[in-house]
Structures are given as structure tokens and as C-alpha cells.
Amino acid sequence: MAYLIGLARDGPMTVQELAGRFGAPVSTAYRYVAALREAGMVWDLPGGRVGLGPRSVQLELGFRKALDEWSPCQGIMRELAEATGETVALLVPLGHEVVCVDTVESAQPLRYSLAKGMAKPMLRGAPAKAMLPFLPPEFLEELLGADTVPAAADRREILAELAGIRARGYAVSREEVDRGVWAVGVPVLNDAGGLEGALSLLAPLVRVEGRETYLVNATVEAAAQIPTLPGRGAGGVA
């Protein structure tokens, strides 16, 4: 499973590179890759590399069917995108990253695109920061103790920012992850207050001036309509 996640996140690589990425003997990596190849989960590419195979497409289709049958998320997201003219995304926390599981893109020529499956850092951007105050305290402590946040002053600043986000119920960012992009992120919580994910609206900065309050309020209202996401009721981090 780790090899599949590595290929999905980082793209095709050689078996030797896979082994080095996960600290496994090359012989073990070859054995696992052979089993994955036989199952159609990976296939061989030029240059001695392997990449995700055709069975991976079936996994994506299966996930889409499960999401569509479970919830009217896509309808809520589409209504928000049509009302605002901007891109809308649904994200969930996975490890030290947030992963986009669904999007509805803006119909405007100038727009921000966030592809399904794209992973972003947990400490940067409105969608990620909207989720952080609702994650288990021990996970947040681990995240803030990572090398990416070395200074105690940085950690104190982040904790103060997260307290404000929790009180407001949303996070806003400007060019924090991508240049020229404004975003609002709103946590999606279950009835017990556990974190399920985040609904985010993303727009080019040039279209945000004078509309920020409207965009924030519209996203907050849409997030409140989203029911519990499947398999994440405990609010934990996979």
C-alpha cells in the first residue's frame, strides 16, 4: 500500500527509488512491485520506471461512486461555484497533508484549478488551517514539533492564529500556497464536533476585492449543509 501511495503522490519512479524512499531492501521492493504488476495496480514505463496501472482507475471510479451515493456534496459544491463564479473544493486530512477529494471548477477563463488527489501542506493555506484547530491535540503537537516549524516563536504565532480560526469558524489565506490565489476554508464537523474535512473556495486575488465578505459567508453557509463524510467520524488523522 505504501508503494502505491508513493507512486500516486510522487509519480513514476524506478524500483530502486521506491526501495530508497521507504527504506526497504531492493529485493523486497521488486517482490512487492511484481505482485502489484500482476494485479494491474502498476505497470512498466520507459526508463525502467513503474507507475500506477489501469486498476488504479477503477479505484478512483469506486471512490466516486461511494461519494456520490453517500452524500449530496457535489450538488452543494456546484451551487456554491455557480453562485460565486469561483472554484470549490472538498479536502480531508491525511497524515501531515490535506488531500483534495472533490472539486467543482469555476466556469470563468481566469480561474484556480485544484485537481482531485492533489496534496497540500497541513500548515499552509486556508483549507488546511481551517482543519487544524479540530485535530487531536497530540497530532497538532507532533506537527508543530516538526522541522518545518523550528522556532518556538513560530509555533506560538501559529497557535494564536488557530485559536482565532476556531473562534471565527473559518480561515482565510492570500498567496500562502500559490501566487495570486485567495482562499477561504471552513471545517466540516459532525454532530459530535469531530472533524470530517474542509470546504474551500479558491479565487484569483484580482476578483476578490470587494467580495471577500460575500465569498466567506457563502462558503460558511454551504459547509453547514454538508453531512458527515464517510469513515471520518472520529475526527482523526489517517
Residue spans of the domains in the chain: they are: 2-57, 71-223
**Dihedral angle of Cα 216, 221, 227, 231, to the nearest 10 degrees:** 10
For residue 45, the cross-strand partners are 49
Q: Which of 84, 186, 93 is nearest to 135 (CA)?
A: 93
CB 18 within 8 A of CB 28: no
The pLDDT profile of the chain, 238 residues, written as one tens digit per residue, is 777 877 877 789 999 998 888 888 999 888 888 988 988 888 899 889 998 888 887 777 777 676 666 556 888 999 999 999 999 999 988 888 888 888 999 988 877 767 777 888 888 899 999 999 998 888 888 887 765 655 656 778 888 999 999 999 999 999 988 889 999 999 998 877 888 899 999 999 999 999 999 999 999 999 998 876 555 444 445 4
Helix (H) or strand (E) holding 202: strand 195-204
CATH fold for domain 2-57: Arc Repressor Mutant, subunit A (1.10.10)
Q: Which long-range contacts (CB under 8 A, 24 or more apart) does 97-106 make?
A: 97/121, 97/122, 98/122, 98/125, 98/127, 98/128, 98/131, 98/198, 101/63, 101/67, 101/197, 102/67, 102/73, 102/74, 102/77, 103/77, 104/74, 104/77, 104/78, 104/80, 105/81, 106/81, 106/203
Cα–Cα distance, 185 to 192 (Å, whole number): 20
Cell numbers given for 205 = 486575488
Q: What is the pTM of this model?
A: 0.73
Q: What is the pLDDT of residue 233?
A: 46
CATH fold for domain 71-223: Beta-Lactamase (3.30.450)
Asked whether the domain spanning 71-223 has the same topology as the one spanning 2-57, the reply is no
Backbone φ/ψ region at 72: left (φ over 0), alpha (ψ -120 to 50), beta: alpha
